Amino acid sequence: MNALLEVENLSVRHGQLVAVSELSLVVNAGQVVAVIGANGAGKSTLLETIAGLLHAAQGRVVLDGTDVTRLPAHRRLRAGIALVPEGRRLFPSLTVRENLQTGQYRKRPGPWDLPAVYELFPWLPERSGQRASALSGGEQQAVALARALLGNPRVLLLDELSLGLAPVVIANVYRTLPRIVAQGTAVLLVEQDVNLALRSADHVHCLLEGRIRLSGAPAALTRDQIEAAYFGVLREAS
């Protein structure tokens, strides 16, 4: 298998708190890997550390054989790691089109350009002159995803795409995932919605208090196993 992103023995601290502890995982090209877990399990911290927004206390982040642990966020984007952050983080005073254009500021060569993302989200062109802050939550999420895609990342990190969105909107955004990985992009996503993660991922890691408690293909995991790993309580089968 072609490991595109390798996280090795990663630990991250927020002051005294160890948010991520000795965590290792691998994402292959064209694969969707999901990290699930309760609030505060360290999911967002994990993604922000891979993206370079937070510093690792220990361990390595390796992109296609190159150690990027010491690179700041803007250099990691140029190397091919793009994060769609929690809460979208669009530029509110810029128009939709300008937000998309910021995604092309340091773009890598690849299949994603404005026509390609317009095809992915056909409603985008007619909204392109509006300020990003005037869009609904789901529309903002789509713009944030499109902005990340326009950089032609090799690894796409998705932080809680579903947060605060209506189920039908979530389904629309998640429907784009197969087309994204079909281009050879690796996707590592973090989700609080377990069913959504199980449906869309090839491989799932369940995180509890910064450690991976359970890993496997969605089909190979039972409800009870996931529940136990998610909440950290082992219910005896009686």
Taking CA 159 as the corner, what is the angle to CA 2 and CA 3, rounded to the nearest 5 degrees? 5
Is residue 231 close enough to count as binding another protein by CB under 8 A? no
One character per residue 135-174, x = contact with another protein (rule: CB under 8 A) = ------------xx--x-----------------------
114 binds another protein (CB under 8 A): no
Of 164-223, binders to another protein (CB under 8 A) are: none
In which region does residue 95 sit, left (phi positive, over 0), alpha (psi from -120 to 50) or beta (all else)? beta
Strands (E), the chain: 3-14, 17-28, 32-37, 58-63, 66-67, 81-84, 155-159, 186-191, 203-208, 211-216
Per CB under 8 A, the list member of 22, 98, 202, 227 interacting with another protein is: 98
Which listed range, 17-25, 101-109, 183-191, 230-238, lies at the site for another protein (CB under 8 A)?
101-109
- Taking CB under 8 A as the criterion, the residue among 3, 26, 94, 163 binding another protein is 94
Q: CA-CA distances (angstroms) from residue 98 to 146, 170, 192?
A: 12, 24, 30
Which residue among 40, 72, 111, 167 contacts another protein (CB under 8 A)? 72
Reading the block at residue 121, the tokens are 């989200």
Q: Which is nearer to another protein, 132 or 229 (CB)?
A: 132
Binding piece for another protein, criterion CB under 8 A, among 14-22, 71-79, 171-179, 210-218: 71-79
In the bound state with another protein, the residue whose beta carbon lies nearer, of 36 and 132, is 132
How far apart CA 80 and CA 25 sit, in angstroms, is 18
Q: How far is the CB of 67 from another protein (least distance, A)?
A: 19
Phi, psi of 124 (to 5 degrees): -60, -45
| Interacting residues of 227 by C-beta distance below 8 A, sequence separation 6+ | 235
Rounded to the nearest 10 degrees, the angle between the axes of helix 167-174 and helix 137-149 is 10
Burial of 101 (0-12, 13-18, 19+ CB in 10 A): middle
Residue 15 has φ and ψ, to the nearest 5°, of 65, -120
Using CB under 8 A, pick the residue from 134, 171, 220, 234 that binds another protein. Answer: 134
Q: With binding defined as CB under 8 A, does residue 70 bind another protein?
A: no
Radius of gyration of the chain (CA): 17
Q: Which of residues 26-65 bind another protein (CB under 8 A)?
A: 51-53
Contact between 127 and another protein (CB under 8 A)?
Answer: no
**Amino acid type, 103:** G
Nearer to another protein (CB atom), residue 131 or residue 213 = 131
Of positions 85, 140, 154, 173, contacts another protein by CB under 8 A: 85
List of residues contacting another protein (CB under 8 A) = 51-53, 72-74, 77-78, 82-83, 85, 89-94, 98, 101-103, 105-107, 131-134, 147-148, 151
